[in-house]
Amino acid sequence: AQSVSQHNHHVILSEAASLELGCNYSYGGTVNLFWYVQYPGQHLQLLLKYFSGDPLVKGIKGFEAEFIKSKFSFNLRKPSVQWSDTAEYFCAVMDTDKLIFGTGTRLQVFP
Amino acid sequence: EAQVTQNPRYLITVTGKKLTVTCSQNMNHEYMSWYRQDPGLGLRQIYYSMNVEVTDKGDVPEGYKVSRKEKRNFPLILESPSPNQTSLYFCASRPLLGSAGELFFGEGSRLTVL
């Protein structure tokens, strides 16, 4: 079965810094990949998804992610973070009938 | 408005007292699922349902039951809650076709078992 690794558990940045959160999945073939965001006290919302085509995927709020098949990776990036990006970020991969989530990365952005 | 609605949002209960967390979606989705979220463990799937009267175990089904008598509802039942079921629970749904697997989540239900 698929698994997802998010190596950064807690990231602290100042506003305007660049962000990259790592995500690796366990095996190849056709994959559907997702990044979800959970703002404090809220439910998960989709940031972006990849299922085919251009490996550079653009999502909401200025986020993007790059699918690199050879590295089994789907890292999330944002050139300049804002205080409002403080949240927990989850990478997920579709495996047959279910979405497998990583353990999440908590991002704190200070003004 | 398209949404997944869970109730209750917050609940404190005691060991052994049966409880049900309801989940309802208004998007006519075939697939519904329950996850629990625990610090450092991310989201883990408890049960899922591909359609009415079809349910399957996820990764952590022990201590839980579900039913899918109607397409829109997917209640999570804790017959005899224990403290290790203290967690944040999310219900989610998606269509079987056309969403590439994207899940739509409810607001979450925070359960504390004393």
Residues whose CB is less than 8 angstroms from the CB of residue A93 and which lie 6 or more positions away in sequence, other chains included: A2, A4, A25, A31, A32, A33, A34, A74, A99, A100
Secondary structure (H, E, C), A3-69: CEECCCCEEEEECCCCEEECCEECCCCCCCEEEEEECCCCCEEEEEEECCCCCEEECHHHCEEEEEH
pLDDT > 90 in chain A, percent: 75
pLDDT tens profile B29-73 = 999 999 999 988 989 999 999 999 999 999 999 999 999 999 999
pLDDT at A1 over 90: no
CB contact (8 A) between residue B106 and residue A43? yes
CB contact (8 A) between residue A43 and residue B31? no
Q: How many residues does chain A have?
A: 111
| Structure confidence at residue A2 (pLDDT) | 82
* Band (A35; pLDDT cuts 50, 70, 90): very high
CB contact (8 A) between residue B48 and residue A99? no
Residues A86-110 as b/e (b if ≥16 CB within 10 A, e otherwise) read bbbbbbbbbbeebbbbbbbbebebe
| Structure confidence at residue A56 (pLDDT) | 96
Tokens read off for B51: 């359609």
Chain A (27-86) residues lying within 8 Å, Cβ to Cβ, of chain B: 32, 34, 42-46, 49, 51
pLDDT tens profile A38-71 = 999 888 999 999 988 999 999 999 999 999 999 9
Mean per-residue pLDDT, A20-27: 92
| Structure confidence at residue A27 (pLDDT) | 75
Chain B interface includes A3 (CB < 8 A): no
Which residues from chain A sit within 8 angstroms of residue B45, using beta carbons?
A: 98-99
Rg (CA), chain A: 13
CB contact (8 A) between residue B33 and residue A98? yes
